[in-house]
Amino acid sequence: MAVQFMYGVLVPVTTPKPKLPPEADNGVWSLYVGDLDPQVTEADLIDKFRLIGPIASVRLCCDSFAGDSLCYAYVNFFTSLDSSTALCFLNHKELKGKPIRIMWSQRYPLTRKTGIANLFVKNLHPSITSAQLQSMFSKFGKILSCKVAAENGKTKGFGFVQYDSEQSSMTARNALHGTLVEGKKIYVSKFAKKSARTVAHGDAMMASLEGQNKNLFIARTQQKEIANCHIEKLKASSLAIKNSTHPVHYSSFQSLGEDLIKQKQHRNTGNRSFVWNSSLHMLER
């Protein structure tokens, strides 16, 4: 134990311990290995990971009925040092031409399932890989998982970064949101599950439709009142003309109606045109 003098007194110096991986399960340290090529076998995984150290076991997860690979596996080491080294040096490295994604196997995956400390990153340049994305975000805290979404070898322009704490994720979001990366301004936000996004979008749509229906109701009510007002004026004018000895000319009524239609033409509401035309038709009859 190291010591140092402070105010003439010997005091012990404690060095901070590095963050340990999750607790070992049955004496082995387990890694989750995802984004595997469908053709990867357990033998391929053993050949890849045994260069790090002795492997306790490898399990490639497959469909229970068809037997096809589910494209993820678990690799177990005897020591935390070997598992940490594998995570450090093999994460995002290629296996059968496809980058693999490695993270600590979580016995209680509450954080992963709830999306806590998980960020959504979009508007990424096509050249950005998962390894580059992790390097970009790693300075803000310990990353549990990092991935750039891809399909048929081509990136989709968005990815996900999950930290071990909410504080780290918010620090990264505040620092990197709106920054330029390879000439593109990236967008960083808290990750939300598809179900939550669907509900939020549905609520917004309902609110929008309710607002539109309310405005439409008000507009139709107002136009009906205006139409009735002009019809009453036209009727009053026609009665005065009928009582006179001069012939009735409905052309003046027609021009008045056309003027009113032109005033409302910019709103392009078929209902308004119908109201005016029907009122003129009533008068001419």
Does residue 88 sit in the same domain as residue 27? yes
- Choose one of 165, 191, 217: the last residue of a domain: 191
Is residue 102 domain-shared with residue 3, that is, in the same domain? yes
CB 101 within 8 A of CB 33: yes
Last residue of a domain, one of 62, 79, 106: 106
- Checking if the pLDDT of 36 tops 60, the result is yes
Q: What is the pLDDT of residue 18?
A: 42
Question: Is residue 112 scored above 70 in pLDDT?
Answer: no
Please, which pLDDT band fits residue 98 given cuts at 50, 70 and 90?
very high
Cα–Cα dist 254/244, whole Å: 20
pLDDT band at 6 (very low <50, low <70, confident <90, very high): very low
Same domain, 81 and 130: no
Of the ranges 22-36, 80-94, 174-188, 219-233, which one carries the lowest mean pLDDT score?
Answer: 219-233
CA distances from 91 to 99, 123, 134, 173, 180 (A): 8, 23, 10, 23, 25
208, 254: one domain: yes
The answer on 149 and 204 residing in a single domain is: no
Residue span of the structural domain in which 172 resides? 115-191
Q: Are residues 39 and 88 in the same domain?
A: yes
> Do β-strands 154-163 and 94-95 pair in parallel, antiparallel, or remain unpaired?
unpaired
**Exposure pattern of 60-85 as b/e (b: 16+ CB <10 Å)?**
beeeeeeeebebbbbbbbbeeebbbe
How many domains is the chain built from? 3
Phi, psi of 100 (to 5 degrees): -100, 155
Rounded to the nearest 5°, which phi and psi values hold at 154?
A: -115, 135
**For the ranges 101-105, 148-152, 228-232, 267-271, which has the lowest average pLDDT?**
267-271
Measured CA to CA, the distance from residue 112 to residue 53 in angstroms comes to: 28
Does residue 31 have a pLDDT over 70? yes
160 or 6, greater pLDDT? 160
Q: What's the rounded Cα separation, in Å, for the pair 81 and 52? A: 10
| DSSP-assigned letter for residue 28 | B
Of residues 257 and 125, more confidently modeled: 125
Do 136 and 187 share a domain, yes or no?
yes
Residue 163 has pLDDT above 60, yes or no: yes
Residues in the chain: 285
Whether the model clears a pTM of 0.75, i.e. scores above it, the answer is no
Question: How many Cβ atoms from other residues are within 10 Å of residue 144's Cβ?
Answer: 18
Q: How many angstroms separate the CA atoms of 264 and 84, rounded?
A: 72
- Does 179 score more than 90 pLDDT? yes
Read off the amino acid at residue 251: S
Same domain, 226 and 274: yes
Query: For residue 236, what pLDDT band results from cuts at 50, 70 and 90?
Result: low
Which is more confidently placed, 231 or 267?
A: 231
Same-domain pairing of 176 and 79:
no
User: Is 70 exceeded by the pLDDT of residue 260?
Assistant: no
Same domain, 94 and 128: no
Whether 186 and 133 map to the same domain: the answer is: yes
Lookup result for tokens 């009510």: 221
Residue 222: band (very low, low, confident or very high) from pLDDT cuts 50, 70, 90: low
Q: How far apart are CA 98 and CA 93, in angstroms?
A: 8
Residue 48 clears pLDDT 90, i.e. is over it? yes
- CATH number of the domain encompassing residue 63: 3.30.70.330
Residues 81 and 6 in one domain: yes
Q: Which of 191, 220, 242 is the last residue of a domain?
A: 191
- Mean pLDDT, rounded, for 275-282: 41
